[in-house]
Amino acid sequence: METTNEPRTQTMPRIGEKAPAFKAVTTQGDIVFPDQYAGSWVILFSHPADFTPVCTSEFMTFASLESRFAELDCKLVGLSVDGLYSHIAWLRTIKDKIQYRGMKDVEVTFPLIEDITMEVAKKYGMIQPGESSTKAVRAVFVIDPKGMIRTIIYYPLSLGRNFDELIRVVQALKTADAFSVATPADWRPGDDVIVPTAGSCGVAKDRMEGHEAGVTCHDWFFCTKKLDKTAVLGAIVKTPG
């Protein structure tokens, strides 16, 4: 970890804001972000450096799970402050040489942004000088079909991401949107969800007394209900075609 007294001049995008726009060169050609992803969910994530071990384990995992994200209509876009030729050489090495935890011949087909100038990394608050002023931290931005930032997670350089959690985040956000509910701690599809707090005393009383079908109240401010798992999966899984 680096110590720094640098003034804080970087922007830090926030949840509920429009994802900052940029154009970039990637391993899959040029992209215009987030406009090109309008209508889909997208995870924009950064990694510190090509040809490093934690990043390699993460890229192999992202690539292996790409179809699970695609099922959720969620695309992946990676970024580091390395150049395009470094990205290409690293991804080729991963495919040709690396076997790790049952993964091999792993081809990364989602775009990996080159950001030598750090323009995008700085826009997204991915350069955190206390951790490193020359590398991006492991940032994750979950962006919805309208281009709004819905979740941000930052990890330090030494800590590989938890991919079950990244999938769970997309599932939970889509469920919250589709059913106008919230999701409790450790929620997974099939678990009970939280219903919004009742707007009037009458509704709250009915709920507390067990008169609202399917709703269980633990107190006036904390009521849950079951959602049919098939209906949840129907709402969050993209139909093929």
The distance of closest approach from Cβ of residue 126 to ligand BEZ in the complex, given in angstroms and rounded to an integer, is: 13
Nearer to ligand BEZ, 22 or 154 (CB): 154
Q: Please state the closest distance from residue 69 (CB atom) to ligand BEZ, in A.
A: 21
Torsion sign over Cα 188, 190, 191, 192: positive
Q: Is there a contact between 223 and 183 (Cβ–Cβ < 8 Å)? A: no
In angstroms, what is the minimal distance from the CB of 31 to ligand BEZ? 24
Phi then psi for residue 64, to 5 deg, are: -70, -30
Residues in contact with ligand BEZ by the rule CB under 6 A: 48-49, 52-55, 135, 157-158
Query: Which is closer to ligand BEZ, CB of 136 or CB of 172?
Result: 136
Q: Shortest Cβ distance from residue 85 to ligand BEZ (Å)?
A: 19
How far is it, in rounded angstroms, from Cα 103 to Cα 60? 7
For residue 64, the minimal CB distance to ligand BEZ (Å) is: 17
* Closer Cβ to ligand BEZ, 132 or 175, answer by number: 132
Q: Toward ligand BEZ, which CB reaches closer, 54 or 153? A: 54
Active site residues: 55
Q: Which is nearer to ligand BEZ, 27 or 57 (CB)?
A: 57
